[in-house]
A and B are shown apart, each in its own frame.
Chain A
Amino acid sequence: MSPSAGAVALSLARLRQAAWLPASDLPLAQAEERAALAGRQIVLVGGENEKPALAVLSWQGTDPAESSRPPRLPRRALSRNATKTLVVVHALLSDPKASRAAVTQPQVLAAILLLSSRSGESWAIPSLHLELPHAGLLTPCREGWACGPAMSAWDRPTRDVMAHATQQLRGHPSWPETQHG
């Protein structure tokens, strides 16, 4: 029996709120259809090595274009501090010289200290522990934090923007060369 329209809408609301859900928790075909009517799409990530596939709610095509006048489009989804932390974490995770699957809190704090000559403890730790995992961008793991489902579902323009930001960070003279592994 097909789920009711209300049940499909609730499952999409839960997906949006949680940032990601196991794909098996969604009536996938109906949810994809509803999402498409609103310019959204469901991206499935993972699903290899007997791990369950995860669903992330994304935009069809590219994210809504930025607006030069109010209201801001798109609105800021993350705080400024979480965005800074995310860029540092992404730069560490994607550093070709280090080949990391996860980063630790000391690695992130050390990188911030080297780059800015200031401690990032007060703002980076809450971002690592709460805001970024809540947004599905990082996943806590045994070693620290790994790439989260929402990061895996980034579209091409977002990947390009992040790649550009992290390249600039890694080109900084203080980028932690010794922080391998």
Chain B
Amino acid sequence: MADEADDEAAIIDAVRALEAADGPLRPRDWPALSDADLRERVARHLGGLGRQLLPVLDEAGTTVTGYLSTWSDEAAADLARATCGLQEIDLALLTLLYLHWEILGRVLGEDLRPLQEQLDAYTGTGREAIRGDARKESLTRLQARQLIRADYRLGPAFDRLTPVQRTRLDQSLFLLLRPEHAWAAEIRLSRQAERQEAS
């Protein structure tokens, strides 16, 4: 009985820590994360709040080095339909930052220009909206939500994307960049079906 109470206390400790930590918790520091059965119960408790346990892997992608908590895929899809307090300019700017760091920098391995210079050089739709004070204020809002860091690189919120959420982000990017492609049409159809199912 005492063991069960100890286990439950360890589980609640781990859930509270996961929900409050700004980075991954190492299993060796949290008994409820190092034991597979207890970890399963941690995941169930998080699931009751619309959250899930997210393993963080090493660079090779083989060994779990820690755990984060994040929105469950179901909750993430539901919350994406609600207003999030961000403005249109914030989302547009975040998209440009994502293209800059993730696509140009990480995926294509290009030599990146300084970010502000890259934004100044942007000539697409809405270019006037991302200049001067409006840009500065928008960057502050994105930073406050941990979407970007103080140096404007992608923030810790991106580390909390599950594989399903990352796929959704990749699909959204594809819709933006290749809207006429056949795969884009498939994505739109599948999202339309999801929306109909949800309503």
List the interface of chain A (C-beta within 8 A of B): 5-6, 8-10, 12-14, 16-18, 34-35, 37-40, 59, 63-64, 67, 70-76, 78-79, 81-82, 122-123, 126, 130-131, 134
Contact = CB atoms under 8 A, between A and B. Distances in A.
B110 interface: no
A9 B22 contact: no
A9 B21 contact: no
B48 A37 contact: yes
A13 B22 contact: no
A13 B48 contact: no
Interface of B: 12-13, 15-17, 19-25, 45-51, 71-72, 74-75, 78-79, 82, 84-85, 136-137, 140-141, 143-144
B99 to A, nearest CB: 24
A75 B141 contact: no
A123 B74 contact: no
B50 A10 contact: yes
A9 B20 contact: no
A14 B75 CA distance: 8
A9 B49 contact: yes
B82 A17 contact: yes
A12 B49 contact: yes
A64 B20 contact: yes
B78 A10 contact: yes
Nearest to A11: B50
7 contacts: A13-B79, A38-B45, A39-B16, A70-B23, A73-B21, A130-B141, A134-B85
The 8 tightest CB contacts between A and B, nearest first, are A13-B50, A75-B22, A71-B23, A13-B75, A74-B20, A34-B48, A64-B20, A134-B85
